[in-house]
Amino acid sequence: MGRKTVAVVGVGAMGSMAMWQLAKRGFDVTGFDRMGVPHDTSAHGAESRIFRMAYREGAHYIPILRRSLDLWTELQAASDRKFHYPIGCLYIAEAKAQWLTDTIQGAAENDVRHEVLDEQALRRRFPQHRLHGGEFALLDTDGALLRPELAVRAAVKAALAAGATLLQGCPVDRVTPGPGGVEIVADGRAQMFDAAVVTCGAWGARMVDAPSPKIIARRLVGTWFGVGDTAPFMPERFPVCIRQTGHIDYSGFPCMDGWTVKIMPPINYLSDVDPSQVDRTVTRSDTEIVRRVVRDLLEGVDPEPVRSGVYLDGFTTDRAPIIDYHPESDRIVLAIGFSGHGFKMSAGVGATVADIIENGQDNYIRHHFSAQRVFADAA
């Protein structure tokens, strides 16, 4: 008997980590991507990502985040490029904001390492943030900045070193389950595998061949702004941040290129798109909200953008991912729908996917990230 063969369809954040974990466990892995790996046009572009452990989306993410942090540390130690900057994540809110009070309580209940800062401490330690009075903050000390393209590259390099094969510029047209295996048609050629993993991000709805209105592709615009004095915005002084005020919220990233910071708009500024026809032109209205952030909420940042880019991610309507078998076949594992917050957990997702292929689905993952909730009542 030869080794079990596994196709990984889409080698972005989730696919690269799944390849690494599967190859490490001795599976015969082939990764397919429609583009080069990594690349800058889907969900792992835009140069920086927030890792945070204090998770306002729910404490049920914490086990996968802890596993991810261990794997980021392991992958970083094996990599020739730095992609994990453990600089903390700062959450800032207006006085008594319930969402931050709940996040702090969740951090305390789940033994997440953190500090709570009152307005005075916040002004003293992080003067880059313009305050309007009464704000408070949570510093998640396990928080970090990840460089997504370099992390994907590191995982793929580790997978290749463990014997995996990577087919770049090779779009998969069909993934068809059968009794003896899964047929993958790519670039006009059909190949059989024992199992397949579908990790094609914004293209997920198309590839699962079980359409659901609850899986959507969305367009995200990242924008970079110049800073006069870079020193206060370097990673060691400016942790990644999430700030929510009454009228505006954003996430912010330190200066990694020697002259800019990156600002991401809130999730309600995203538009639904057909991923094969997305408009990559950035208009003035695309950047309006983040220009307002810079004007009203930051000190020492020039409010005219110097660079913007359009990226895509796959969303579900409840913003929780699917990490589960395909509704029609347990030879196919889906890891899609990461809804604008998946990068930080991608290392843990790769390991979870490998667990499912190796040992079957576990109850905790099935309960929280089931395919059923998205496909059950699809037309």
Ligand X SMILES: Cc1cc2nc3c(=O)[nH]c(=O)nc-3n(C[C@H](O)[C@H](O)[C@H](O)COP(=O)(O)OP(=O)(O)OC[C@H]3O[C@@H](n4cnc5c(N)ncnc54)[C@H](O)[C@@H]3O)c2cc1C
Residues that bind ligand X (CB under 6 A): 9-15, 32-35, 42-44, 46, 49-50, 171-172, 199-201, 203, 207, 220, 222, 251, 264, 311, 313-314, 336, 338, 340-344
DSSP letter at 111 equals T
Q: How far is the CB of 25 from ligand X (least distance, A)?
A: 20
Task: Determine the Cα–Cα distance for residues 206 and 200; give it in Å rounded to an integer.
Answer: 9
Name the residue nearer to ligand X (CB basis): 45 or 106. Answer: 45
Q: How far is the CB of 81 from ligand X (least distance, A)?
A: 18
Nearer to ligand X, 84 or 341 (CB): 341
Cβ neighbours of residue 39 closer than 8 Å, sequence gap 6 or more: 33, 45, 149
Distance CA 227, CA 127 (A): 14
**Which CB, 116 or 267, lies closer to ligand X?**
267
- What is the C-alpha separation between 278 and 52, in angstroms, rounded? 30
- Measured from the CB atom, is 11 or 71 closer to ligand X? 11
Reduced to 3 states (helix: H, G, I; strand: E, B; else coil), residue 183 is strand
For ligand X, the nearest residue by Cβ is 12
Q: How far is the CB of 260 from ligand X (least distance, A)?
A: 15
**Shortest distance in whole angstroms from residue 15 CB to ligand X:** 6
Q: Which stretches within 130-286 are classed as H helix?
A: 148-161, 204-207
CB 198, min distance to ligand X, A: 9
User: Cβ of residue 186: shortest distance to ligand X, in angstroms?
Assistant: 7
What 3-state class would DSSP assign to 331?
A: strand
CB environment 150-177: b (16+ within 10 A), e (fewer): bbbbbbbbbbbebebebbeebbbeebeb
Looking up tokens 């015969």 gives 28
Buried residues in 28-53 as b, exposed as e (16+ CB within 10 A): bbbbbbbbebbbebbbbbbbbbbbbb
**Closer CB to ligand X, 325 or 338, in the complex:** 338
- Which CB atom, from 119 or from 183, has the smaller least distance to ligand X? 183
